[in-house]
Structure 1
Amino acid sequence: MGHRYRGGRTAAVVLGWGLVGAQIVAQLVGMGRLARAESGDGHAGAPTVTVRVDASQVLAKTNPLLFGINTAHWDQTIFPGTAPEALLTANREVIRKVRESGVTILKYPGGTAADYYVWNDPRNPAADMDTDELVLLARAVGAEPWIQVNIPAGPEVAAAWVEYTNNIHHYNVKYWELGDEEYGSWARGHSSPEVYAARVRQFVQAMKAKDPTIKIGMSVVGFSGYQDWTRRVVRLAGDVIDMVVFSFYPLEPGQESPQAFVQAADKLQPQLDYIHRILREEQPSRADDILVMIGGWNTVSANPSPLVEAMPNALFVARMLAEMQTLDVDGANYWAVHNPPGPRGGEYGYLKAGTHEPTYPWYVFKLFADHWGDTVVAAESDRSWIKAYASLKKDALGTTLTTILLNISSGRTETVQLVTKGFEAGRYSTWILAEGKKGEEWPVSEDGRVVLPPFSMVVVKAAQKPRAGDYVRVFPIGQQASSELAGFEAAQVTDRDPNTRWSSVMGAGIDPQWLSLDFGFPVRIAKVVIRWEAAYATRYEVQLSGDGQTWHTVAKVEAGDGGTDELVFPADEARQLRLLLEERADRRFGYSIWETEVYSQW
């Protein structure tokens, strides 16, 4: 349905994201062989580090399952009331913050608690988060639920859980895990590798009898410890499972320091290499089909210090989220949404228990959610303490390049010069996460120079510079219509929301109707895209005006058929655009448009 009128180039590219900062005021001082930018306000001086981004070298597609997080049944702050009252008593502040962080998996019921929690036990506290509330939360934040089952409770209880979620309520929970860290003596279901492997086979048979489409994972470790656990369980049960799940907490209590935190991500690759090697050796025919998942990750294995809430851990989190995209891992879940303070005063939760105040790691998740693209491309820094990661995003608004820069030095302030290949950057926008700075805008020069204070994360985003002939979407400052219905106002025709629309009045004798857009100043308009609702026009004109009084027609449709109309015409300068709607497809209704896109041409 719909038409494209007159041929021509139709690539839509958006111009800019708004330039933040302009004046160069940084004063440089010597520091060994390097100059150091000393400007406290972030304005960039002469570059001391070069980061090269090659947008033509694609490394991977962004894997959304790497942005998972753990939540727990004992977290009574999200749904403090009983399950029937969940929608009335839900903590909307927490739900909003979890949603804003962009998490894609909610793993439940909470680490080692999995072997203590019996999902259908009537003695469970009423304020605990139960299965139905987990699913409500997952749907509210746009995440996939992942459930760990209780090993000591037996396969029948796990199978009943699958029956409840996927057959009775059709929640379609896809990911299931058998216990948590079952290799460890701290796990209530701990046993020998042989006993655990036998249980895995029993659980898989019982659970897949209820839903054969689910994916079931078993516990492994990323090294040869615990009685060579990984090799033995993969050998004995690797033929029936869909996932292997391991934990990654690279530091032990007492090993923490800011530098240890920012370097801890280096320990992930060897563990992944070990697990994949065992899969290839013990299950060669299935190694490529078994998903390798991180069930829980953070820096310290137990009793965290306050560093877990601070910038050193935020830099660890940023390295993990970026570097996992190019490693051989299929999914990962941060620990956790909430976790009350331990004996050393730190808490794992990316939201503080009680106050729900975001910690620095939460801001890392949010910056990735807001700016990271769908394609990972190559980025390289010429200094080891400046880490660089880049991604592209292509959508209806054009192509943007996001570069994430991390300064893992505790003492150096650097000015980074960003150099791009395969992407001609237009205007830059920049955001910073550092001590006392939580995701706010940050200065960047027109040629891509930006200051990185010690222990900081800076996100640099650039729209692709338009080329001659490219179309650039322009947005009006005002919208008017000859008529509109309540809830379907003219402003909704350019709000970029696919679920809102403008609608005129309905009935006989209403023709013609009109819809006009005011851009505030003259622009060279060359293309209009109209996305019709079912009440479309079969005959209408596109008109332009410089003063809103005198109009001239630049495109005319005589036999419209709804859907999406794309009208291309010679570029013409005007301040206002009007759709003059002359004839309807169905005279019982009026005219209705989901979205109108207007493009200038370079």
Structure 2
Amino acid sequence: MALPQRPVGPARAGRPRHLARTAAALAATLALLSPFGAAGAASATEQDAPTADVDVRVNTQASLGRLSDTARGVNAAVWDSHMNDPEVAALMKTADVGAMRYPGGSYSDIYHWETHTAPGGYVAPGTGFDAFMGTVRATGAQPILTANYGSGTPEEAAGWVRYANVTKDYDAKYWEIGNEIYGNGHYGSGWEHDDHADKSPREYARQVRAYATAMKAVDPTIKIGAVLTTPGNWPDGVVGDGDPGDWNRTVLSEVTDVIDFVSVHWYAGGSDTTADAALTRLTRLPGELREVRNQIDRYAGADSPSIGIALTEVNTNTGGARLTARPNGLFAADAFMTALENGVFNVDWWNTHNGPGEITTVDGETDYGDMGMLSGGSCTGDVCQPAANTPFHPYYGMKMTSELGTAGDAMVAASSSAQEVSAHAVRRRDGRLSVLLINKNPDAARTVDLEYAGFIPSAATPEVSRYARGDSDITDVTGSGASASQVTVPPYAMLTVTVTPQPGTGPGASAAGAPGTPKLEAVTDSTARLSWEGAAGATRYLVQERDGAHTRLVGETTGTSVTLRNLPPGSTHTVNVLAADAAGRISAPSDPLTFTTGTPPDAACALTFHRDTSWGNGFVTTVSVQNLSDTPITGWTVDWDWPTDGQSVSSGWSATFQQTGRHVRVTAPEGAGPLAPDGASTASFGFVGANDGPNPDPTSFRLNGTVCSGG
């Protein structure tokens, strides 16, 4: 939603039964599933190696999904006179950029593609659609095009599809309907242009259907995206006058049958706009993206896996921390990989060029107050940026992620013992393993011990790429002392370490291919039935549950389905499937599946958790509980666990509240009468809650220790 600061435009834009097996096969399987592989150790650390202060664990048997060909993207804006400079395509191609979004944030809702005009805004020469597509093709990328919702029509959007894909054969696949339409004034704050008399989410949903119908009539192969708010960010949870729910719930309830993806934006935000604060706030992003998927699951059901998530704008801040300096390079790398590991197929940096703002000094360098990847060559007073298209640090952050992996490579789980050192890992299609380490400490180098699960590194010297103080580009520092088991990351720096597997080990040694992504066929309060597409060469399949970078075997079968049993009600699980060949060698993992069990339908109690109102970072909830057993209950307690760390009870009434960590216990008020049997009476209480980030409802409630139905 960020806008350029030059030229001046609008104020804002932009458990199952195990099969019998021989002792030898069991030993082989356990060896392959052990934290260190069949060799029993990741690799020997040299005797004179320094003492590590960070432990990073990489589990190649815990897949987080595959990198798409549109994984890395950037925004391009029609007010940017340097948008189509030849240097732009060359730089983006080098960084393996696969997507370019046009015509630029909130300009999308005033821009008319055919006349190349944006009434009320500035349009730079040479930035028309065909010129943009020239840059897209020279980059080897795909366009992500935002149809004008604010002042456009379905017919205008259909005309654009016809011109792009019929007349010009551009094969433009991804089309969003509007930019940040929830910012049209319906909730009080309005930066997004919207000429519709009805600015409600229900009207937007109706229009999405009309746009999708008109556009797919021209080209039924295109993908249509609807705009959602990001959970935990305003106006998430706010219900407007006359609306049946907040923006996301209203829109999704009416469009999941006509859309192919949703578009969300994420800026670090917050009142503390320092670089370090922005880096810390990235810990919120996984939970917020999980809640987007939960919301899609709720309304699309079995069709949910076919609806993708695109993070079409990301940066540190739209306000204070408009950084070009080194920490925003670290942020860019961390943000791209964090989002991709948490279920999005595309991440687009805001912006290619943006424009200078407040001049400050960050990490000993001039910071131009610009949110761009590349310099626009502009000035603030007598302080001028470097020559146009000179890369800023965020460009190198994005480029470093291309050192980690490219389209088709599998992201795998990695965990770090230190919050200030981020770790991301990718298993390459050729069998190599790449690990990206980001040291967010500006003052101290960090020595990292690397531990592997499901992977045995060879004795060969790893390839190492670095971006640190003093480096003018991603620098090859192979042979600088790093080993497969230990590396030292300079302060405020990034390293990508690529190791080769020991010959005869890893998925490449297995005659079995990777199984298909598991599907949830049925789920109850305590069971889940999964199925998957079989793999050539497989003799049996292993189902593993992931917890961070750790996995445990929860199911095994010779078929392509399994029922997991004895699952806790209201619990969330992420699983992968692996195939074993006749020799017991394990394949690469499938892509992951995440599911949540329900509550028992025949429970001895029933509970209703009703969100009365929300305002972005707070909410009011009323809870009602009934005793369905045949005996009265005197002295009741209700317990639940919040799904995320940022949720809490601030104050309440008609009960006593206590929270420890995520756990909440509510106790009946003094003098409360018994809960009558057979649902003959209801106990109700309420509270004001707070949320710092996403605000999903709890999934399981207990009355005096008994799991209730409902929620």
Q: Match for 2:73 among 59, 64, 68?
A: 68
What displacement does 1:63 show? Answer: 3.0
Q: Match for 2:467 among 406, 423, 433?
A: 433
Worse-matched range after superposition: 254-263 or 180-189:
254-263
Q: Match for 1:202 among 203, 206, 210?
A: 210
2:228 is the counterpart of 1:229: no
Q: 1:213 to 1:433 in 2, by over 3 A?
A: same
Contact 1:430 1:444 (8 Å CA) reproduced: no
Find the counterpart in structure 2 of residue 295 from structure 1: 312
Paired amino acid for 1:93: E
Find the counterpart in structure 2 of residue 180 from structure 1: 179
What displacement does 1:304 show? Answer: 4.0
Find the counterpart in structure 1 of residue 437 from structure 2: 405
Contact 1:310 1:360 (8 Å CA) reproduced: yes
- Deviation string 1:58-79 (CA, Å, 9 cap, x unpaired) is 4432233331211112222144
Task: For 1:243 and 1:52, locate their aligned partners in 2 and report how far apart those are by CA, in whole Å.
Answer: 33
Q: 1:460 to 1:140 in 2, by over 3 A?
A: same
- Deviation string 1:380-422 (CA, Å, 9 cap, x unpaired) is 3333322222222234xxx322111111223332222333442
Find the counterpart in structure 2 of residue 538 from structure 1: none
Paired amino acid for 1:62: L
Q: 1:349 to 1:122 in 2, by over 3 A?
A: closer
Find the counterpart in structure 1 of residue 493 from structure 2: 456
Paired amino acid for 1:350: M
Task: For 1:465 and 1:412, locate their aligned partners in 2 and report how far apart those are by CA, in whole Å.
Answer: 33
5 Å matches for 1:142-291?
142-151=140-149, 152-184=151-183, 185-189=190-194, 191-223=199-231, 224-227=236-239, 228-252=246-270, 254-291=271-308
Contact 1:264 1:299 (8 Å CA) reproduced: no
Task: For 2:401 and 2:72, locate their aligned partners in 1 and report how far apart those are by CA, in whole Å.
Answer: 9
Q: 1:76 to 1:166 in 2, by over 3 A?
A: same
Contact 1:259 1:312 (8 Å CA) reproduced: yes
Contact 2:403 2:496 (8 Å CA) reproduced: no
Paired amino acid for 1:313: N
What displacement does 1:283 show? Answer: 3.4
What displacement does 1:317 show? Answer: 1.6
**Percent identity (aligned):** 30
What displacement does 1:177 show? Answer: 0.7
Paired amino acid for 2:78: H
Paired amino acid for 2:410: T
Worse-matched range after superposition: 341-350 or 205-214:
341-350
Task: For 1:323 and 1:172, locate their aligned partners in 2 and report how far apart those are by CA, in whole Å.
Answer: 29
- Deviation string 1:7-56 (CA, Å, 9 cap, x unpaired) is xxxxxxxxxxxxxxxxx9x9xxxxxxxxxxxxxxxxx7343333233334
Q: 1:285 to 1:404 in 2, by over 3 A?
A: closer
Find the counterpart in structure 2 of residue 112 from structure 1: 106
Q: 1:122 to 1:129 in 2, by over 3 A?
A: closer
- Deviation string 1:478-531 (CA, Å, 9 cap, x unpaired) is xxxxxxxxxxxxxxxxxxxxxxxxxxxxxxxxxxxxxxxxxxxxxxxxxxxxxx
- Deviation string 1:446-488 (CA, Å, 9 cap, x unpaired) is 46432222222111122335579xxxxxxxxxxxxxxxxxxxx
Contact 1:179 1:189 (8 Å CA) reproduced: no
- Deviation string 1:559-587 (CA, Å, 9 cap, x unpaired) is xxxxxxxxxxxxxxxxxxxxxxxxxxxxx
Q: 1:57 to 1:183 in 2, by over 3 A?
A: closer
Q: 1:122 to 1:114 in 2, by over 3 A?
A: closer
Contact 2:252 2:299 (8 Å CA) reproduced: yes
Task: For 2:92 and 2:155, locate their aligned partners in 1 and report how far apart those are by CA, in whole Å.
Answer: 33
Contact 2:314 2:347 (8 Å CA) reproduced: yes
Find the counterpart in structure 2 of residue 444 from structure 1: 481
The structure with the largest alpha-carbon Rg is 1
Task: For 2:144 and 2:448, locate their aligned partners in 1 and report how far apart those are by CA, in whole Å.
Answer: 40
What displacement does 1:287 show? Answer: 2.7
Q: Match for 1:138 among 102, 116, 136?
A: 136
5 Å matches for 1:350-361?
350-354=373-377, 355=387, 356-361=389-394
Contact 1:309 1:347 (8 Å CA) reproduced: yes
Q: Give me the CA root mean square deviation.
A: 2.6
Paired amino acid for 1:322: M
Task: For 1:48 and 1:247, locate their aligned partners in 2 and report how far apart those are by CA, in whole Å.
Answer: 35
5 Å matches for 1:392-541?
392-395=427-430, 399-421=431-453, 422-425=455-458, 426-437=460-471, 438-442=473-477, 443-446=480-483, 448-466=485-503
Task: For 2:355 and 2:202, locate their aligned partners in 1 and report how far apart those are by CA, in whole Å.
Answer: 35
Find the counterpart in structure 2 of residue 338 from structure 1: 353
Tell me the secondary structure at the aligned position of residue 340 of structure 1: coil
Paired amino acid for 1:60: G
Structure 2, unaligned runs of 5 or more: 1-45, 184-189, 240-245, 360-367, 378-386, 506-711
Paired amino acid for 1:433: Y
Q: 1:290 to 1:53 in 2, by over 3 A?
A: closer
Q: 1:275 to 1:50 in 2, by over 3 A?
A: closer
Task: For 1:150 and 1:316, locate their aligned partners in 2 and report how far apart those are by CA, in whole Å.
Answer: 31
Q: Match for 2:400 among 363, 367, 372?
A: 367
Task: For 1:198 and 1:119, locate their aligned partners in 2 and report how far apart those are by CA, in whole Å.
Answer: 23
Q: 1:159 to 1:311 in 2, by over 3 A?
A: same
Q: 1:445 to 1:154 in 2, by over 3 A?
A: closer
Contact 2:436 2:495 (8 Å CA) reproduced: yes
2:349 is the counterpart of 1:349: no
Task: For 1:92 and 1:98, locate their aligned partners in 2 and report how far apart those are by CA, in whole Å.
Answer: 10
Tell me the secondary structure at the aligned position of residue 383 of structure 1: coil
Paired amino acid for 1:70: N
Q: 1:275 to 1:214 in 2, by over 3 A?
A: same
Q: 1:301 to 1:270 in 2, by over 3 A?
A: farther
Taking structure 2 as the reference length, the TM-score comes to 0.54
Structure 1, unaligned runs of 5 or more: 1-23, 27-43, 80-90, 469-602
What displacement does 1:357 show? Answer: 1.1
Task: For 2:56 and 2:304, locate their aligned partners in 1 and report how far apart those are by CA, in whole Å.
Answer: 37
Structure with the greater relative contact order (CA < 8 A, sep ≥ 6): 1 or 2? 1
What displacement does 1:144 show? Answer: 0.7
What displacement does 1:303 show? Answer: 5.5
User: Structure 1 residue runs of 4+, over 6 Å off?
Assistant: none
